[in-house]
Structure formats: structure tokens, C-alpha cells
Amino acid sequence: MSTLYLDRRDMELKIRDGALAIYRNGRQQKTLPLKMITRIVTRADTLLSSSLLAELATRGIGFTAISGRRGEKIAHLLGDPHGDASRRLAQYHAYNDDDHRLELARKTVSAKVNNQLRFVHRLKSARPDQRASLTKSERAISGIIDRLEEADSLESLRGHEGAAASAGFDALQAVLPPRLQFNGRNRRPPRDPVNAALSLSYTLAHSDAVLASHLAGLDPAIGMLHDPAWGRPSLAADMIEPLRPHIDEWVWTLFRDRVIDNDHFGQEGEACLLKKNGRQRFYGAWEERAPAMRRWLRQAAHALVRELQNRQLEQDET
């Protein structure tokens, strides 16, 4: 099972005998069995019918449309949710229970920060020449881990998460070559190649988290660490937090191994954007890494369902 990326203009999709037929400029390019596709991501204008969308939804195949020159507009087709509405009721109950919400948010932050620490440990092994800078980040993150249990509010947890993320990006900056001009995280728009790759990676992971939470019977919009916001799937944002350090490490390897480099990016005003040749390389590499992350997201979504239902059962019995 894999994701199909469409990144060329004048594409059209049709259903033919249980397969997805892909056309360009009216000429059929290839067919793919629908059972082999878990999601379709289109980055360019693509022609398709409402009946095709309905078929994708029926089969549980996710569809993500990314539009705009900078890829800032995103739409998801998710299909029918899981039929057990009690899962979503338990989720809403947890959101409205301050103690339970804080407990779940703490688990999310703890998982992310511990993954950041492991990432810095691996960087120290790979780059002993940057030991001083990496040790500074390591100590900062270790200190944050020690303080997480003392955090008694979501605001405090978010502060610790932000400080750990900053230390993690300091570590990443230490091992990246100066030619990439990475000076920490920036976005909307990303202004250097590393941030452009990070933003696209996070966007794709977030899309997978939306689909995983939806298929597990949860409401992607109701998170615990992230507050609900207009148009933001906050639960999906929660779910990818522990994955971010893994994504950061993967992006580092892309540039380390020169899978992508400066010449795969272009500048549009302040925005740094992957060019077509860079996107082809990026998507190919992403699909090698993404299956493990998707599997983790599915498992995390089902683990959260069990946690919510068990907590609800305990409260019902008291």
C-alpha cells in the first residue's frame, strides 16, 4: 500500500475496472489497482469526477489536495468515519476534563522531547566535531525532561515543548552546512531549503495523522495539547509531535547525503520552494520513510482510543 503523488499539470484521474487510470493531456499514462493505494496527494491542478471521489471515500483511500504556489492551501477527503460514535464522545469528555487533558498532553510532550534527546545523541555520535554545541542542546533537553512532571498547566507544558524544540533546532543547525543558511525554524513562508523541506514533511505527516485519527473513530479537530482552532485538525497536530524529531533527522540525512540540495530549490520573494526536480526526489525518499510513520500513527490512534474508553469505563463504574 502506498501514496500516489501527482505533481504535473493537465492530469486526469478515472476509475477503470477497479483500477485508477491516470491520464495526461488526454492520453493514458498508467493504471494502478485501487487496492494498492492508501492515499492520493495532488500538488497540481488535476481533473477528476465526483463519482471518483465517492469511490475513494468508500474504499477509505485518503485524498489530499495541496494548492497555491507555496502549497499553503490544503484540503482532505477522508470518507466515512468509524461507526462507533462512543469513541468521539469519550474524546470530547477527555477534552473537557482538565486533569485528563493535561495527562494526555503531558504524554505527547514527553514522547516528543525524549525523541529529541535521542536525535541529539545520534548527532553527537555522527558529528564529534560539533560536540560542544550538541552537548549544550543535550543538556537543555535533558533538563526539560526532568521538569515535565512538574508542569501543572497546558501553558507550562507548551513552554517546555517550545524550549525543547528550540534546542533541537540548535542541534540541527550545528550539523548542517552553512551553504543551506539554516538559522533555526521559520515558516509561512519557509525562507531556506531546510525549512522548506521541514514544512513539506510536517504537512505530509499531518495529513497522514488526520486520516489515521479519522479512521480510528476520533475527531481530528479536537486535540489535547493543541487547542481547537478554525480550520486546524488539532488532534492530528498532537499526534505528529512525537514524530517531528524523526522527521528532523530524516531531513538532515536528505541534505547530508545530497538527495536534495540548494540547486533543487528556488526563491519566490521571501519564500524558498522546492523545484519540480527537487519534489520528485523528495517524494521518492519520503515514500521510503513514510510507511513506518503511518503505521505508528495508526497504532497511536488506536492506543488513544483504548485510553479514552478505559478512562470512560472507570468513571462510569465510580
Asked if residue 249 lies in contact with residue 119, where contact means CB atoms within 8 angstroms, the answer is yes
Q: What is the DSSP letter of 17?
A: T
CATH 1.20.120.920 domain residues, the chain: 85-317
Count CB-CB contacts under 10 A for residue 291.
Answer: 13
pLDDT score at 137: 96
Q: What is the CATH number of domain 85-317?
A: 1.20.120.920
pLDDT tier for residue 13 given thresholds of 50, 70 and 90: confident
pLDDT at 67 over 80: no
247-297 per-position pLDDT tens digit: 999 999 999 999 999 899 988 888 888 888 888 899 889 988 988 999 999
CATH 3.100.10.20 in the chain: give the residue spans. 2-77
- As given in the structure block, the three cell numbers for residue 233 are 485538525
Amino acid at 102: L
Q: For the segment 152-189, what is each residue's pLDDT rounded down to a tens digit?
A: 999 999 999 999 999 999 999 999 999 998 998 998 88
pLDDT in tens, 182-226: 998 998 889 999 999 999 999 999 989 998 999 899 999 999 999
Contact of 293 with 283, CB cutoff 8 Å: no
Query: Do 300 and 223 touch, CB atoms closer than 8 A?
Result: no
Mean pLDDT of 86-111: 95
Residue 238, CB-side half-sphere exposure with 13 Å CA sphere? 30
Q: Which of 1-5, 115-119, 160-164, 217-221 has the lowest mean pLDDT?
A: 1-5
DSSP category for residue 28: E
* More confident site: 229 or 18: 229
Is pLDDT at 79 greater than 70 in this prediction? no
DSSP E strand boundaries for the chain: 2-6, 11-16, 19-24, 27-33, 37-42, 46-47, 62-67, 73-77, 265-268, 271-274
The C-alpha cell at 44 is: 497540481
Inform me whether the pLDDT recorded for 7 exceeds 80. Answer: no
Query: Which tops the pLDDT comparison, 236 or 63?
Result: 236
**Average pLDDT of the chain?**
88
β 265-268/11-16 pair status: unpaired
* Residue 106 confidence class, pLDDT cut points 50, 70, 90: very high
> Does 70 score more than 60 pLDDT?
no
Buried/exposed 76-92: b ≥16 CB within 10 Å, e otherwise: bbbbebeeeeebbebbe
pLDDT at 1 over 70: no
Query: Measured between alpha carbons, how far is 308 from 89 in angstroms, rounded to an integer?
Result: 9
| Residue of higher predicted confidence among 314 and 219 | 219
CATH topology of domain 2-77: Ribosomal Protein L15; Chain: K; domain 2 (3.100.10)
Mean pLDDT for 95-100 is 95
